[in-house]
Amino acid sequence: MELVQVKPLRAGRMRPLRHLADLDQDGRRAAVAELGLPGYRADQLSRHYFGRLADSPADMTDLPASLRQTLTKALLPELLTATRELTCDQGMTRKTLWRAADGSLVESVLMRYPNRVTLCVSSQAGCGMACPFCATGQAGLTRNLSAGEIITQIFKGAQALAAGQLSGGQGRVSNIVFMGMGEPLANYGPVLTAIRRLSDPVPSGFGISQRSITLSTVGLVPAIRKLAGEGLTARLAVSLHAPDDELRDELVPVNRRWRVAEVLDAAWDYAAASSRRVSIEYAMIRDVNDQSWRARALVSLLAGRPAHVNLIPLNPTPGSRWTASDRAVAAEFEETLSRGNIPVTVRDTRGREIDGACGQLAAAHNPAPNPRP
């Protein structure tokens, strides 16, 4: 498979430690066998982690005390440490800055809505796709995250929710979006493993329906095609942002490699394979991509296709020369799509005040230590 070659700017100093979530059931049994333990110990540990959200030896009362330490040390190493938490929206939105063992920084964002809780996770530390309106893209790629590091963001978010740490009381993570830092399809293997760990039933995984998982991509065509063969029902979102190659070349530089038509073709294949409509993301940038002719061009591209357009008011990023579209212009753009029978919604963007909204995650740029007491 041909994938974009991105050279890490600052290679991580070490590989992330092996974690329960990196392994399938057979792999876990093999790992406990290395410790001289029978396979069912792996199942017990997995039930604690995926079924009960327990990762501390003290909570694993059905295991002999001596084994709890052995198992957690070998299979539940501390991959990410929360170094800063910021909340807004009366505590309904919370951004966490995580530090990995090698010092790499990533962020994830928990968002409570009236009828769901969405967790936005990072798949890479930094990003190599260099979209000029996205803060993450400005910093470049540090390294890929392991499946364990991706799952840890979700595990800890779920633990915090279960403990009632987000306003609105105890809750569960209902939706997961791969829309944090990084290009998920440039870290294909670990991201696919993470999706399987999310959706596999307990004790293999968390048992969350793939239908509530969304993976957002700039449009790495060979990887989309490969994904279409994995038998997933997770939703695919494509960061289109322009209907024409000329502008998209500038907004999403990888478009120089895979053009709008190729990206959409691959997306329709994924839609057919997953039986899910593809979400087309379109950040509304004033006087750049919000002209009515571009709305009409978008209608032509999407008419009759299994697509849904998600308009995203552009969020401010440091040093960007662009701003969000005028309300009236954005409303007219939306109206043009609706009249063209294209399903369209405007994203209820959260976390702008804490630089936690789409395109604002730039942990590597802002590592100011402000640990929680």
Tell me if 362 contacts ligand SAH by CB under 6 A. Answer: no
**For 76-214, where are the alpha helices, taking DSSP H only?**
135-139, 147-162, 188-199
- Let me know if 107 is a catalytic residue: yes
CB of 187 to ligand SAH, least distance (A): 10
Tell me if 179 contacts ligand SAH by CB under 6 A. Answer: yes
Q: Is 318 helix (H, G, I), strand (E, B) or coil?
A: coil
Tell me if 232 contacts ligand SAH by CB under 6 A. Answer: no
Q: Which of 87, 315, 325, 336 binds ligand SAH (CB under 6 A)?
A: 315
CB nearer ligand SAH, residue 345 or residue 370? 345
Q: Which residue is nearest to ligand SAH (CB)?
A: 359
Cβ atoms of 182 and 121 within 8 Å: the answer is: no
Question: 246-285 mask for ligand SAH (x: CB under 6 A)?
Answer: -----------------------------------x-x--
- The residue annotated as part of the active site, out of 78, 107, 250, 281, is 107
Q: How far is it, in rounded angstroms, from Cα 117 to Cα 176? A: 9
The candidate with the shortest Cα–Cα distance to 6, out of 150, 152, 103, 125, is 125
Q: How far is it, in rounded angstroms, from Cα 256 to Cα 267? A: 17
Strands 124-126 and 141-144: antiparallel
Q: Which of 45, 109, 359, 362 binds ligand SAH (CB under 6 A)?
A: 359
- Let me know if 335 is a catalytic residue: no
Q: How many residues does the chain have?
A: 373
CB neighbours (10 Å) of residue 275?
9
Tell me if 108 contacts ligand SAH by CB under 6 A. Answer: no
Q: Is 60 helix (H, G, I), strand (E, B) or coil?
A: coil
For 148, phi then psi, to 5°, come to: -60, -40
Tell me if 239 contacts ligand SAH by CB under 6 A. Answer: yes
Q: Which of 6, 234, 311, 358 binds ligand SAH (CB under 6 A)?
A: 358
CB nearer ligand SAH, residue 205 or residue 359? 359
What's the token pair of residue 338? 């609706």
The residue ranges that bind ligand SAH (CB under 6 A) are 127, 129, 131, 133-134, 179, 183, 216-218, 239, 281, 283, 312, 314-315, 317, 358-359
Q: Which residues are catalytic?
A: 107, 358
